Structure 1
Amino acid sequence: MCGFAGKLSWTRDPAAGSVQKMSEHLRHRGPDDVGLVEMEHLALGHRRLSIIDLSPNAKQPMTSADGRFVLVYNGEVYNFIELRQELRRLGVNFRSSSDTEVVLYAYIFWGSQCLKRFNGMFALAIWDSREKELFLARDRFGKKPLYYYHHRDGVTFASELTALLADEEIPRRVSLEAINCYLSLGYILAPMTIYQDIYKLESATCLTISQAHRTPSKARYWNYADYFRVKSAEKEETIADNILTLLEQATERRLISDVPVGAFLSGGLDSSSVVSLMKRHHPETLHTFSVGFEEETYNELPDADRAAAWINTSHHSLMCRGGKDGRLIDEAIAAYDEPFADNSLIPMVAVSRLAANYVKVVLSGDGADEIFAGYLTYKADKYYSYARYLPDFVKRFMTSMGESQQKAHGKLNWAYKQKQFFYGTLHDPDEAHYLWRLIFNPEERLGILGSQYRDLVYDSDPFHIFQRYYQEVKDLKGLDRHLYVDAMTWLPDDILVKVDRATMASSIEARCPFLDVELVEYAASVPANLKLKGLRPKYILKRALQNVLPQFILDKAKSGFNAPTGAWLGRVGVDEFKAFNQYVFLKKVPEWLN
């Protein structure tokens, strides 16, 4: 895991000083080493977090033996050993044992098609000095970030937005469209960022720009939708066995490391399955980490402790008191480079800080809910098929009844869920699924932004992006459609952003076995009724794990990873609340906007 930055200029000398400054803003992503190269047209900077091959031979930027190609790369390609053997047969003499060198020569021999061979997480930039061509790419689900700004004279790019903005030539114009998206969803959908003309490269996408073709050309190299279209005809038992085999292989791949590996453990199905499978291949001391809260409805420490005892790990936990720990809030805010309202970022930052005391790599259970239909929203989609036939006046009445009930300080109460659900039933199935997670509806956003922004609020409604993805799977039905769209939106732009920024803030690498490409592609082929069987979420995954995990984990109700921010604010007195508002709006907001 690392961070990189670069600046391409066709008419001026490369701005090595600017790239060095950008690289400094990525120190947390790579505290072990720093590299900078300056060439005709291009300067590249790299910050290294040494995980595989700790020697200087794996240093970046990495140049090919003939000097033609230069690579900067962030992530891990887990099948690099197999690819190395194939490349050796093609005549490559490797100078290191790193996956970085494998990535470089895979591109040299196979061009952009190499991306289809990679099983891992990555963002990369490769410069071809002979063709004067820059190639950028991001992994299938966007686990590793990549931002870029295209200008008349070239392109500037970096692993984080804060690093990109260290280049003083890049304008900072806040995007009202992005603000509209943020107020709708709590995160900003790719390719947008909070700034106009600065973009995130989308997941499973590569971008090419050359001296001959100075307008960037983008292409998607992997289409998740294709794997939903051919359904497995295997028996349920065979499917369950195959899922377990693939998950175990995915977990084993992610144990490859030259530094200590641990895991996040909440005591739920997803993280417990990963840790149990790790233990099979990691019989020595295995460090696991969890975070809890004083608020009982949010606190999963007892579940994590019980799971850790059953699996036999060296378990470490902490109590997150975000309402009393201003430093933690500041750290959480600093870890994210644009507006982000998923409050689980706070405990994620805290548990990452804890893990960094023991390991450099952690495995997590992220991705299982999106792949195997674990969220309550998928149940809501099933209820929708019945509730949609209610008269509209009943739906509106039930929505207003939910609005009239004050949201509790515990996790989302029934009244709030009622409001979201019946508001969704007033719309078509695709929009209803989008609305389950909506924060502010258009009229509420107008109340925040002002009526002068009516056209913007409606014309740039983020559902338009969701519609585009739904259109890509118009031949699919029901759950498969929603799983695909969530994997193109919610997963890369909320869940994986949270995981990457929180762990990298503490200079540790997170790996997600459930997002292994072989497992994901196979899971897409599993019939939808085996993922959500009746109203039983993740049915086939639980079936696969029935001989791996004890019944108390298999039967545990899903509990979302959220922070009790409502309770924290609810305990604040009037004077403290005023002080908090002054701190946020007079001190922090100007800092964030600047």
Structure 2
Amino acid sequence: MCGITGWVGYDHDLSTSTVIDTMTETMACRGPDAAGTWLSPRAALGHRRLSIIDLETGDQPMTADTPNGPVTIVYSGETYNFAELRRELSGRGHRFRTSSDTEVVLHSYLEWGADLVDRLNGMFAFAIWDSRTEKLILARDRMGIKPLYYYPTADGVLFGSEPKAILANPLAEPVVGPDGLREAFTMIKTPGHAIWEGMAEVIPGTLITVDRQGLRSHTYWRLETRRHPDDLDGTVTHVRDLLDDIIGRQLVADVPRCTLLSGGLDSSALTAIAAQQLAAEGERVRSFAVDFSGQEENYQATEFRPTPDAPFVRDVAKQSQTEHADIVLDTADLADPAVRRSVISARDLPTGLGDMDLSLLLLFKAVREHSTVALSGESADEVFGGYRQFFSPVAREGTTFPWLAEFGKYADRTSSLWNESLLGSLDLRGYTADGYASAVTEIERLDGEDDLEWQMRKISYLHLTRFVRVLLDRKDRMSMAVGLEVRVPFCDHRLVEYVYNAPWAFKNYDGREKSLLRGATRDVLPRSVADRVKSPYPSTQDESYATALREQAGDLLGTPNHPVFDLVDSDRLSTLVGRADNPSMFGRMGLERTLDLAVWFDLYRPAIKIN
């Protein structure tokens, strides 16, 4: 897992440029083990390495010399089928000098050109500079697990794993326009949008080609509607077969591995299967869970989180005999302004999830002290239908993004601190409506598909192409900020395609959420976990955290000229800070968003263009 960046300029001589060093250094956290750059007259490439496979000889940028000139790659991610591809390429006459998956991807390009992406199974973002044709190829994995951004220039392009790498180049200006703010204030993740003016995100499943004629985009994969081939029993069996294969592939590493265990169905199934597979090799799985000081003893059930995680975590750790550790955080950890600053610096955006981002960063930081690779249950809810909006009549009958149909009223409350004039000019409802209308045009309806099945297909598609990308981006940024590689087995495109096209009746055949996953893994799960009602990622219930937020917001009010008050109504913030009681969940979220925005302004000095 690494960070990549580069600059192609057809009217520049980049062979002596030092800017690429600055761009590369912005991603030191993504690759703490090594750094490298490669220069040529028309292209400069940079790489930061987190060593996972082939620790000794896998450094980048990596070049293959050909009779007509060098071909150079910078690569981030993991190709899980690289061993099979290596054998095939060896049979075709290719010779390898390393045991890394990066070299396999490079030789795959030499053999198949841009069509190599069709053969890759994994999470990846890479750039290949082909000096034979002076052409740049940018590629991103099918589900968008690994990030990749680009910024067209007058004579070429800048690119990077994160916006900060691009913004380090003087050609890129840190400007955020109306659509950027709309993206920041909604939860829809419009494909290709990068918040910053002039910058774009490579859409998952897409290749970008840059040459002297300009920039072209090619979609090599998209989520397609197909007829499901199996009955219910066959579907449950095939899901388990896929999970066994996927998890086995993703356990491969030359560094310590672990699982992230919450005690929910997703992470527990993942941990149990991994433990079963490693036990056959005489190994134990290491598992980690996050918790908060005093949370279990003083837990208050809520509509969203009916049960604490800890008892279920213990049940899984005991049954699967994992080597388990709880990462217990207290309010001082969460309320530390330095932690918030690290979160915003990692994300490049003030679009976080409050203490859930802060605790995730701290969890990953603690895990990194013991492991370099972690497997996560992220995206199982989107794949198998785990969220409450999959079952909500409001979401099913709505004509907007299902999570907004279900929770939009709560989002409205958290936006109550924004300036009225700002909200009026942004027209977030209109932007969301346009985004929804555009998204549903991408979906194909099967002949004979009834109205319920069609509505559930739309809900599934929107989660898999919009909502999940918010969470995957969060996961990537928080983990890479501390040099931890987090793998997401449930995002394997074979599983996503198969389950997406399974009938909705299969997905809740037992009257519960995620029936297919439960049925496929019940044999390895404690009964308590198999029967547990879904509970989202945990959030602290300690009232002293909200008190700390109010104190920090009060300090912010002491600097009335801070640019955050171009977006936030200072009088409304002052009223919230001055209340005698602790704020509601929504008031707390408003405080968190305000503090995030303030840190973002301090770090990035963005120029805001509202009109």
After TM superposition, the score normalised by the length of structure 1 is 0.86
The 1-side partners of 2:180 and 2:538 are apart by 24
Q: Which moved more, 1:164-173 or 1:330-339?
A: 330-339
Aligned residue in 1 for 2:350: 339
Q: 1:478 to 1:460 in 2, by over 3 A?
A: closer
The aligned residue for residue 42 of structure 1 is 43
Cα 1:128/1:541, change in 2 over 3 Å: same
Instruction: Specify the alignment match of 2:461 in structure 1.
Output: 484
Query: 2-side partners of 1:24 and 1:105: how far apart?
Result: 27
**Closer/same/farther in 2, CA of residues 590 and 523 from structure 1, 3 Å limit:** closer
2:327 pairs with 1:318? yes
* Correspondent of 2:76 among 67, 74, 83: 74
Distance of aligned partners of 1:210 and 1:587 in 2 relative to their CA distance in 1, 3 Å threshold? closer
The residue identity in structure 1 corresponding to 2:376 is: S
Q: Which residue of 1 aligns with 2:4?
A: 4
CA contact (8 A) 1:268 1:303 kept: yes
For the residues of structure 1 that align with 2:507 and 2:17, how far apart are their CA atoms?
Answer: 51
* C-alpha distance in structure 2 between counterparts of 1:28 and 1:504, whole Å: 6
Distance 1:275 1:446, change over 3 A: closer
Give the match for residue 306 of structure 1.
Answer: 315
CA contact (8 A) 2:63 2:73 kept: yes
Which residue does the alignment assign to 1:475? 445
2:268 aligned with 1:257, yes or no? no
Query: Which has the higher mean CA deviation after the structures are superposed, 580-589 or 269-278?
Result: 580-589
In 1, are the aligned partners of 2:73 and 2:127 still within 8 Å (CA)?
yes
Structure 2 distance, partners of 1:482, 1:199, is 26
Match of 1:358 among 361, 370, 378: 370
Q: Does structure 2 retain, via aligned residues, the 8 Å contact 1:442–1:458?
A: no
> How far off its partner does 1:68 sit?
2.6
**Structure 1 position 340, deviation (Å):** 1.7
In the aligned structure 1, how far is the partner of 2:139 from the partner of 2:256? 28
The aligned runs of 1:23-34 (5 Å cut-off) are 23-34=24-35
Letter in 2 for 1:313: T
9-18 vs 47-56, greater mean Cα deviation: 9-18
Question: Matches of residues 317-466 of structure 1 in structure 2 within 5 Å?
Answer: 317-322=326-331, 323-343=334-354, 344-380=356-392, 382=393, 428-431=398-401, 434-438=404-408, 448-451=418-421, 454=424, 456-457=426-427, 461-466=431-436
Note the C-alpha offset of 1:320: 2.3
Distance in 2, Cα, partners of 1:573 & 1:497: 25
- Structure 2 vs 1, CA of residues 364 and 444 (structure 1 numbering), >3 Å: closer, same or farther? closer
Q: In structure 1, what is the Cα distance between the partners aligned to 2:548 and 2:349?
A: 27
Residues 190 and 199, structure 1, Cα contact 8 Å, conserved in 2? no
Q: Which residue of 2 aligns with 1:267?
A: 263
The 2-side partners of 1:118 and 1:439 are apart by 42
Q: Deviations over 1:129-169 (max 9, x none)?
A: 11111110110111111111101111001111112111122
Corresponding residue for residue 208 of structure 1: 209
Separation in 1 of the partners of 2:546 and 2:49?
Answer: 42
In the other structure, the counterpart of 2:589 is none
CA separation of 1:500/1:439 partners in 2, compared to 1, >3 Å: closer, same or farther? farther
The amino acid of 2:455's aligned partner reads G
SS in 1 for 2:289: strand
Q: Is the 8 A contact 2:287 2:324 kept in 1?
A: yes
Deviates more, 1:96-105 or 1:12-21: 12-21
CA deviations on 1:80-99 (whole Å, 9 max, x unpaired) are 11111111121111111111
Q: Which stretch shows the higher mean deviation, 506-515 or 521-530?
A: 521-530
Structure 1 residue 127, shift from structure 2 partner? 0.8
Distance 1:463 1:582, change over 3 A: farther
**Residue ranges of structure 2 left out of the alignment (5+ in a row):** 447-453, 560-594, 606-611
**Contact kept? 2:141, 2:205, Cα under 8 Å:** yes
AA of the residue aligned to 2:288: F
1:578, distance to aligned residue in structure 2 (A): 1.6
Give 1:447 shift.
7.8
Contact 1:445 / 1:457 at 8 angstroms: preserved in 2? no
Helix, strand or coil for the counterpart of 2:427? helix
Q: Which residue of 1 aligns with 2:175?
A: 173
Q: How far apart are the structure 1 equivalents of 2:597 and 2:495?
A: 48
Name the CA distance, whole Å, in 1 between partners of 2:349 and 2:107: 35
**Structure 1 310/447 Cα, relative in aligned 2: closer, same or farther at 3 Å?**
closer
Structure 2 Cα separation of the partners of residues 63 and 252 of structure 1: 30
Change (3 A) 1:365 1:446: closer
Q: Which residue of structure 2 aligns with residue 424 of structure 1?
A: none
- Equivalents in 2 of 1:132, 1:515: separation in Å? 34
Distance in 1, matches of 2:33 and 2:291, equals 31
> Distance between the aligned counterparts of 1:142 and 1:195, measured in 2?
19
Shift, 1:307, TM fit: 1.6
Residue 532, structure 1, aligned to residue 497, structure 2: no
d(CA) in 1 for partners of 2:413, 2:30: 40
Larger mean CA deviation between 287-296 and 17-26 belongs to 287-296
TM-score normalised according to structure 2 size: 0.84
Report the CA distance between 1:576 and its aligned residue.
6.1
Q: 1:497 aligns with which of 444, 451, 473?
A: 473
Residue identity in the other structure for 1:464: D
- The residue type equivalent to 1:353 in the other structure is K
- The SS at the match of 2:262 is coil
Cα offset, 1:124, TM superposition? 0.5
Separation in 2, partners of 1:575, 1:72: 45
Kept after mapping to 2: 8 A contact 1:361/1:509: yes
Amino acid at match of 1:331: S
Give deviations 1:480-526, integer Å, cap 9, x for gaps: 1111121111111x110111111111101011111112222222232
Please give the alpha-carbon distance, in whole angstroms, between the structure 2 residues aligned to 1:519 and 1:339.
Answer: 32
Is the deviation greater in 443-452 or in 290-299?
A: 443-452
1:109 deviates by 1.4
Deviates more, 1:370-379 or 1:538-547: 538-547
Cα drift, residue 443 of structure 1: 11
CA contact (8 A) 1:35 1:61 kept: yes
What per-residue deviation string (whole Å, max 9, x for no partner) do you get for residues 293-333 of structure 1?
A: 24424642332222212211111112222454444333323
* Identical residues among aligned pairs (%): 31
Contact 1:446 1:454 in 2 (8 A): no
Change (3 A) 1:573 1:431: closer
The answer to whether 1:519 aligns with 2:501 is: no
Q: Does 1:230 align with 2:200?
A: no
Q: Using the TM superposition, name which of 529-538 and 62-71 deviates more.
A: 529-538
Distance, in Å, in 1 between the alignment partners of 2:457 and 2:124 is 26
Preserved CA contact (<8 Å) 1:188 1:194: no
What is the deviation of 1:368? Answer: 0.7
Partner of 1:102: 104
Whether the 8 Å CA contact 1:69–1:127 is kept in 2: the answer is yes
Decide whether the 8 Å contact of 2:13 with 2:41 is kept in 1. Answer: yes
Cα deviation 1:248-270 (Å, max 9, x = unaligned): 11000001111111110011111
Contact 2:77/2:146 (<8 A) preserved: yes
The CA distance in 2 between the partners of 1:123 and 1:462, in whole Å, is 28
* Distance in 1 between residues matched to 2:320 and 2:337, nearest whole Å: 35
The residue matched to 1:489 in structure 2 has which SS? Answer: helix
Specify the alignment match of 2:586 in structure 1: none
Question: Are positions 1:243 and 2:239 aligned together?
Answer: yes
The letter of the residue matching 1:44 is L
Q: In the alignment, is the contact (CA less than 8 A) between 1:184 and 1:440 conserved in 2?
A: no
